[in-house]
Chains A and B, each alone.
Chain A
Amino acid sequence: MCGIIGIVLDNNSANINPGTAVFHGLIRLEYRGYDSAGVASVSRDKLIILKGKGRISELEKKLCFSCIEGDVVIGHTRWATHGAPSDINAHPHSDCSGRIAVVHNGVIQNYRELKKMLIQKGHVFKSETDTEVIPHLVEEFYRETNDVFKAFVKTIKMLEGSFAIALITVVEPDKIFFAKKDSPLIIGIGNGFNIIASDIPALLEYTRRIITLRDNWIGYITPNEIHIIDLTNNENVEWSEYVRIVEWSLEDATRSGYPHYMLKEIHEQPRVLKETYYGIREDPVIAETVDRMINSRNIYITGAGTSYHACLYFSILMNIIGRRTIISFVSSEYQVYVKAVDEQDLLIVVSQSGETMDSLKALRSFKERGVRTIAISNVVDSAIPRECELTIYTRAGPEIGVAATKTFTTQTLTLTWLAIAYSESTGSITRIEADEYRKILGSSSELVAKTISWNEISCKELAKWLSERRDMYYLSRSIGLPIAMEGALKMKEIAYIHAEAYPAGESKHGPIALVEEDYPVLFIIPEQEELEKILLGNIQEMKARNAVVIGVASENTGLSDQFNYWFKIPSSHWLLTPITHTPVLQLLAYYTAVEKGFDPDKPRNLAKTVTVE
């Protein structure tokens, strides 16, 4: 996904700075992609393009998008599909003469043929993107027709695939040309200006009158005019019939109807897991990472909060399938570990934001001793990826709720993939097993969708009771332990219930002393027969003390009659436990917080990114 925006205004009648408008719009579109960004304008008969790799706010500091001159400005925020994130591949793209600039969201399927044809005609391409064929095609056809709009229409007719396109040119500097097919595009109508954008939040600051463009519509906007043609019948579109007034607040618009960002992000998991899965399949960094892991003496993995739970999960998984000990530690404790490391060792840093101060400190002190470093992050070009030798990116998209949800499941998906790749390379699992595991991972999106739809109402129901509790335990064993810890963290951080996680076997060494009648004890049960057998004993210990036993277990579990309350997880493979079981714990914490009247998006005393030690 990418986001595009463009504004054209009449300087005399609209009191808007177009550079600022585009910059603000890009920030609102950042959820659609944020590995690179750029803007273009026409000023004094010249095309200006500012673009680069990195986040919009960073690029703003470096290039100052909002300072761009001109009354017609387009912008783009990118999520790489064709061509890696780089300064060159960032949009806008221009033609050979430097008179046309284009931003595009979508995929041009026939770009290879078009590019070949254009190169034969002498066009010079600068980037690896599919988008660049568009300005060159318009340039080519403009030579023939001497009419920008005709050239633009001819170009669009040649494109196969999906697109939302905005184009500006020095030849007609008061117009933004646009076309839409299968990718969203909306016009915002103003007084003395018009805006075009991929989504409503990007233009809501300036206008509430919008037109949602239909497929195969093509046209241009000027400060005071909108012209649209329907390519299916080549007739003019009476656009006034399609004008709507948006009554959403900006915040409503970005929450897409969900009462809180956290719930929206929990529900986004099926989609982002799929995107992460497809992204990681193609990622060459995995092979390099495996290579470095094999050639390292000791491997350390570190993170803070939820990311640490992903680290712990990885080290347990690597013991089970990779037969390799990985030392996982909480990043703020780095000084304990740093004394024993040198250049033969490897550190993997897991951080959603890539800016977590504790993890950054750990990374820097390990690097000082020559340790090689790899980052796993959700934010392109943030501090930790910048300072690491290699980075594997998760594709969870921006997470606004303070409590991590979709970033945890995408981190564990990524780390599971890495563990499989390592284990296959070292021979601790066979190729056939590895393929089987990868196939299982591919089903995670669908399984999470089922988990959520099967359990949401039950979570809401149980939350009424949990909201009156002060304490609870989360117990599990083996691969389920980090999930229990993650569940307890969620309950603490947003519902303010004192929740502790333990290995189930540990409870009789102390914690069970607190258990009394009606004490909630939640068991995470990975789908493994041997584990179920051992956990049965632990469950009975709790039942004997009249605790309320809540089970998060497969639909095929043999323990169902042991639970007072059973959250049914679709049957899969134990390897998927963090992905299939965690959404229930997230929903449970979410609804408990809501039931208690707290805002789950803004828990007290917490910030989304912890940039202090």
Chain B
Amino acid sequence: MKNLILAGGRASRELSVLIPKGRNKVLLKIMGKPVIYYSLNGLQQTVSAETILVYRAGEEDVYREASSYSQTPLIPVVQETGDSVHEAILAAESRLRDIDYFFLVFGDIIVEQDAFTHLLNTHLTEEPSATILVVPIEPRNVYTYGLAIVDENSFVKKVVEKPQSIELREPCYALGGLYILPIWILDKLEKGYTLPQAIDYLARESRVRAVYYSDLWIDIGYPTDLLEATYQLLSRIDQQFISNKAEIETNTVIKGPVYISDNVYIDHYVVIKGPVYLGDDSFIGAHSFIRHYVNIENRVRIGAFNEIRYSNIQPYAFTHSRVTIMDSIIGENTLFESNITLLNVLSEEEEPPRLRIHIVNKPGEKIRKMGSVIGYNSRISTNKVLKPGTILEPNTVLK
């Protein structure tokens, strides 16, 4: 068996505002690590085999960063053309031909390691033609996934690609982005089958086993997915870790689980209520209030009197004083001048942008929330108020 990780996937339009040129969504950061770290690590902990990484021409950063987390040297394969998954797999074809099965993983999936273990063990012990991970999904989101219809004995009956009808009439699960596939599926891909079509063919002709998984699983396609992944991963911090290289001034209050990395500086009178992650060399100005589920990446500088909640702030972002950020994602290298508010409460009439829905209308919560997605390299001048659900293109200067 060989491992194959695909890291050339295109982001949705809404997510792409966060991705600088020459980079890819798999390099977006959560808790100091790129998204691809989570699948690469899970895979390599499970299967000790040669790992091939497919990335897009011009996105060499993907290979460079992934290599720094890889246990063994990655075999690079550059995808020169095409946008689809089957073209990405075919780009690695010459590296795969000498084996019987390959473990295919999408680099933009965040999933626990036991998903990999269960998939591999099921495959080795039951020896079906192929074994795929399936996950339960919110029916309102079906149109955003490839779907597997599974029979009562956990075999795949058929595979449907992103159905247009939101109300699918059959019991279905999303394709989980983890697959163990026979090498001869390449022949089908060469004939122009998409990956779901090829698996559908396999399922009809032989036995494709679905391995069900209900724990942490997020496919990073939309900004809301990145926020959900931030929430889920921060929820897993269960203690206070403060690097002895961090500097915390007196009168700072830190409550709840936090991860405070090397060379973080926290000024006087800051209040932090975990779960919160503060990346290397980040700075939190005096009197700021960092509330739960906040992920602040490396070298971010938060000015004085800021309030931040349930947000992900990518590296090198910089805020001046009196900035309020809630339910939002801030792209790399953005600059907020003072007195800026990102509103987050949707009015009754307001529809959130058509993103994948993770948490909307939780009972007990009378209001729906959605902040902004701020594209990289943007600059927002002082005294601005952004409406809920704003998506700002990269390099925008809001005067």
Using a CB–CB cutoff of 8 Å, the interface residues on chain A facing chain B are: 184, 186, 200, 210, 212, 214, 244, 246-248, 252, 256-259, 263, 267, 270-271, 274, 445-446, 449-450, 452-454, 456-458, 460-462, 464-465, 518, 520, 548, 550, 555, 564-565, 568
Q: Determine whether the beta carbon of B363 is less than 8 Å from that of A520.
A: yes
Complexed CA–CA distance, A449 and B157 (Å): 13
**Residue B239, interface by CB 8 Å:** no
Q: Determine whether the beta carbon of A548 is less than 8 Å from that of B363.
A: yes
Give 19 pairs: A residue, B residue, CB < 8 Å, sorted on A: A184-B126, A200-B125, A210-B125, A244-B124, A246-B124, A256-B122, A257-B118, A257-B121, A258-B212, A271-B152, A449-B171, A453-B171, A461-B138, A461-B359, A465-B362, A518-B364, A548-B363, A564-B361, A565-B363
Q: Which of A257, A258, A458, A464 is B138 in contact with, Cβ under 8 Å?
A: A458
Least CB distance from B380 to A in Å reads: 33
Complexed CA–CA distance, A248 and B362 (Å): 38
Complexed CA–CA distance, A548 and B365 (Å): 10
Least CB distance from A509 to B in Å reads: 26
Complexed CA–CA distance, A460 and B136 (Å): 10
Which chain B residues (189-222) contact chain A, with CB distance < 8 Å? 211-215
**A257-B212, A274-B152, A568-B139 known; A246+B364 contact, CB < 8 A:** no
Least CB distance from A588 to B in Å reads: 12
Q: Determine whether the beta carbon of B136 is less than 8 Å from that of A453.
A: yes
Least CB distance from B74 to A in Å reads: 24
Least CB distance from B181 to A in Å reads: 18
Q: Determine whether the beta carbon of A461 is less than 8 Å from that of B121.
A: no
Least CB distance from A592 to B in Å reads: 13
Q: Please give, as numbers and ranges, the residues of chain B lying within 8 Å of A248 by CB-CB distance.
A: 121, 125
For A248, the closest partner residue in chain B by CB is B121
- The number of chain B residues with a CB under 8 A from chain A is 29
Q: Determine whether the beta carbon of B213 is less than 8 Å from that of A257.
A: yes
**Residue B85, interface by CB 8 Å:** no
Q: Please give, as numbers and ranges, the residues of chain B lying within 8 Å of A214 by CB-CB distance.
A: 127
Main secondary structure of the interface of B (DSSP, over half): loop
**Residue B172, interface by CB 8 Å:** yes
Residue of A452, A454, A464, A568 with most partner-chain B CB within 10 A: A454
Lowest 4 A-B CB distances belong to which pairs?
A449-B171, A456-B136, A257-B118, A271-B152
Count of inter-chain pairs, beta carbons less than 8 A: 79
Q: Determine whether the beta carbon of B152 is less than 8 Å from that of A460.
A: no
Complexed CA–CA distance, A457 and B214 (Å): 9
Which chain B residues (116-131) contact chain A, with CB distance < 8 Å? 117-118, 121-122, 124-127
Q: Please give, as numbers and ranges, the residues of chain B lying within 8 Å of A186 by CB-CB distance.
A: 125
**A248-B121, A452-B171, A520-B363 known; A212+B127 contact, CB < 8 A:** yes
Q: Please give, as numbers and ranges, the residues of chain A lying within 8 Å of B359 by CB-CB distance.
A: 461
Least CB distance from B20 to A in Å reads: 33
Least CB distance from A396 to B in Å reads: 13
Least CB distance from A482 to B in Å reads: 25
Complexed CA–CA distance, A53 and B362 (Å): 53
Q: Determine whether the beta carbon of A456 is less than 8 Å from that of B363.
A: no
**A449-B152, A450-B170 known; A257+B211 contact, CB < 8 A:** yes
Residue of B118, B137, B172, B211 with most partner-chain A CB within 10 A: B118
Complexed CA–CA distance, A244 and B123 (Å): 11
For A247, the closest partner residue in chain B by CB is B121
Q: Determine whether the beta carbon of B362 is less than 8 Å from that of A461.
A: yes
Binary A-proximity of B59-97 (CB < 8 A = 1, otherwise 0): 000000000000000000000000000000000000000
**Residue B164, interface by CB 8 Å:** no
Residue of B167, B170, B211, B364 with most partner-chain A CB within 10 A: B364
Q: Determine whether the beta carbon of A450 is less than 8 Å from that of B214.
A: no
Q: Which of A200, A446, A460, A462 is B171 in contact with, Cβ under 8 Å?
A: A446
Complexed CA–CA distance, A271 and B172 (Å): 15
Q: Please give, as numbers and ranges, the residues of chain B lying within 8 Å of A450 by CB-CB distance.
A: 170-171
Q: Determine whether the beta carbon of A457 is less than 8 Å from that of B137.
A: yes
Complexed CA–CA distance, A465 and B361 (Å): 11
Not counting A259-B215, A452-B136, A453-B173, a sample of 9 additional A-B residue pairs whose C-beta atoms are within 8 angstroms of each other reads: A212-B127, A248-B125, A257-B121, A453-B136, A453-B171, A454-B139, A457-B138, A461-B359, A462-B363
For A520, the closest partner residue in chain B by CB is B363
Residue of B121, B214, B361 with most partner-chain A CB within 10 A: B214
Q: Please give, as numbers and ranges, the residues of chain B lying within 8 Å of A445 by CB-CB distance.
A: 152
**Residue B153, interface by CB 8 Å:** yes
For A244, the closest partner residue in chain B by CB is B124
